Every structure is written in C-alpha cells, then in structure tokens.
Structure 1
Amino acid sequence: MRTAFVPLGLLGSLAVLAACSSTPPAAPAPPVATSTAQQAVAVMASASGSRVSGKLTLAPMGDGVHISGEVGGLVPNTQSGFHVHEKGDCSAVDATSAGGHFNPATSAHGRAGTPIHHAGDMDNITSDAGGVARVNVHLRGVTLGGGAANDIAGRAVIVHAAPDDYHTQPTGNAGARVACGVIKVVQ
C-alpha cells in the first residue's frame, strides 16, 4: 500500500481556495413577529338576517393565537365555516364589509394545518342540539397586536351558514356570513 505525500504548503493553499469557492452564508431570517397584546375579544353579532351571536376570547399561545368561547343561534347539529377576515368592519348587513379571508401571504384557500391555506382559515365549528358551538381553536402562524403582517388584532371573525369544504376557491363554499365580530384588544 502506497501513501501519498502532500506538502503542507499545498494543503494550506487548497484550504484557502475551498473557502473562497464556498457559497456565501445565507441571509439572516427576518425576525419572528411576536404578539404584543395579552388578550382580545370578538363580540359576534348577527349578520344576513340570522340570529347567530356569541363572544370569543383570543390570547397569544405558542406559535399563534388561541380562540375560545361560544357562538349560539346556529342550526342544531351542523357545521359552519369559521374564518378570520381581512377587515375589522362588520357594518354591512351581510358582513361583506369584512372583506375576504385574512391572507397576508396570498396563499390559496385550504384547511388549517395543511401546507397551503389562508392565515385566517380555521376548521369548521360544530353546533350541538341547542344550536351552540363551543369554540376551542388554535390559529397557528398569526400574532395578536404589534402590527406585523400576520397580526389579527383589529380584523374580523366570521361565522358562515354552511361548512367550509376546504377546497373551493377562494372561500370554501361556506355560504352566507351569519355572524361577524371585530377582534378588539382588551389587554
């Protein structure tokens, strides 16, 4: 077995050349936005002639915002689409003043937890025999307060008349907007 002899000077030169030809370091990642608010509420008022109403509490948690509360006046034992919409404006009778789904990354509509979906897409809520849906949702990838592009403070939560099918663009074929509430920071 033969051993190759390489002069030390040549090894140093090769190391310098390798360092010069390597790819430059990646640019630092943008800072991760964090929530500045501790809590917000969304008082859900009826829209489109419905009797749907309720109250939601929102709080930063882990990698997003946790939403809890109750929405009543729904058709018993059914599912309803549930989304954060882009504008905090519930003034239109049919809540269209709230705009489309909150979508700062301009993604296609989809189901929360899948790679492609709007930031405001959440799973359907389900009403019980009394027409009340108990909400317990974690919305990942958003913040509460601070003004970042993914901040949901000051936007609206909408309940729809029909379930979201998670496929139809751009809204999941969830039907009329039956309740709307603006996300207002309280702490």
Structure 2
Amino acid sequence: MKPRFKAMLAAVFLLAGCGQTNALAPKEVTMMNADGDKVGKATFSQAAKGVKIHLEVQGLTTGPHGLHIHEFGSCESPDFTSAGNHFNPDKKDHGLMNAKGAHAGDLPNIEADADGRAVVDLEATNVTLEEGKKNSLVGRNGTALIIQEREDDGMSQPAGDSGKRVACGIIQKKKEPKPPES
C-alpha cells in the first residue's frame, strides 16, 4: 500500500472514530441526597457489552446499598419517587439472581465503608448510551441512578426490599448550549 493511501485511510478511520466517540461521549452524573447536597458523581461510558459505570459517593450509612437505574430522568426531593420504577424496557422480573432475568436497571449492590464512602466500577450489560434504542439510558428525558438505604436482596418484587431512595442522579444526553441571540 502506498504511503499516501495509508495516510488517507488512517484519516478516514480517525474521523469515523471521532464521530462515534462524540455520539457516545461519557455522561457525567451528579449524585444528590434528599437535602439537595452533592454526595458524589457517576460516569457512564459506552462499552462493547453495555455501559461502564464509575461511581464515587459519600455520606451513606456504613454497609451495603442497592443500586438501580430508574425509568425517568427526574430526582425530586425528598423521596426521588419522580424517577419512577426500575428501568425495564424488556418487562422482566426484578433481581440479578432471578432465573427469569433481571430489569435492565438492576445493578450489583455497593458497599459503603466506615466513613460512608463507596467507590465502585461496574458494567451494566443490558443498557446503552446510544440514542434511538429501547434500552438507551439517554432517550426521551433520560433515566436516573438511585442508591437505596439497604442492600437489594436480588429477588424480591418489585425492587429487592432495599428501602428508601437516599441518593439520585440524572442520566441524560449532554444539553447543547443555545447559540447567542442576535
């Protein structure tokens, strides 16, 4: 292959890759408690088999906490019920240990240390950041990441008996800035 053709081919692949990266750019999510205080952040990044989530949160009680993606991009205090139910586009039963499958929004429990901090990396395999897909986290008005007060038992319907919602963050596509008016 001629060097000039190689350079042109490399530029095409680079530009194609840039378009894909921008379309699926990582989503930064601010996690808030019921008082409206920032308690952490989550970063959602498209992966080969779903979405990678990096979560750093503080202000939790020590021990395990349920973690779920909910169907609406809304985090109204004090109880975050505006986020709706677990994200479940395939209409499955709840629970990662459920033989019939789990909600797309069911995630592993997280563990807060003695200082109330949790830092975790996990992958949600039944969701995407691609718009236009039924399992997209950023479609319509987005979705929400919710931390529960107790651990999810992995089976109980409809939400794992994990108690109150104690922290919430909205997952949505990046809002483009409006151009200045003339």
Give the TM-score normalised by structure 2. Answer: 0.77
Once the two structures are TM-superposed, the CA of residue 110 in structure 1 deviates from its matched residue by: 1.0
Residue 37 (1) aligns with residue 27 (2): no
2:124 maps to 139
Aligned residues: 152
1:129 aligns with 2:114: yes
Find the aligned partners of 2:40 and 2:130 in 1 and give their Cα distance.
22
- Stretches of structure 1 lacking an aligned partner (at least 5 in a row): 1-33
- 2:98 and 2:155 in contact (8 A); partners too: no
- Aligned mates of 1:79, 1:51 — CA distance in 2: 21
Bigger helix fraction: 2
> What is the CA RMSD across the aligned residues, in angstroms?
2.3
For 1:139 and 1:182, locate their aligned partners in 2 and report how far apart those are by CA, in whole Å: 16
Match of 1:162 in 2: 150
TM-score by length of 1: 0.75
State how far apart, in whole Å, the 1-side matches of 2:169 and 2:53 are: 13
Map 1:170-185; keep pairs closer than 5 Å.
Answer: 170-185=158-173
* Range that drifts further, 127-136 or 109-118: 109-118
Larger Rg: 1
Mapped to 2, the partners of 1:115 and 1:108 lie a distance apart of: 7
**Equivalent in the alignment of 1:66:** 52
The answer on whether the counterparts of 1:112 and 1:123 sit within 8 Å (CA) in structure 2 is no
The amino acid across from 2:59 in the alignment is G
The share of aligned pairs that are identical, in percent, is 39
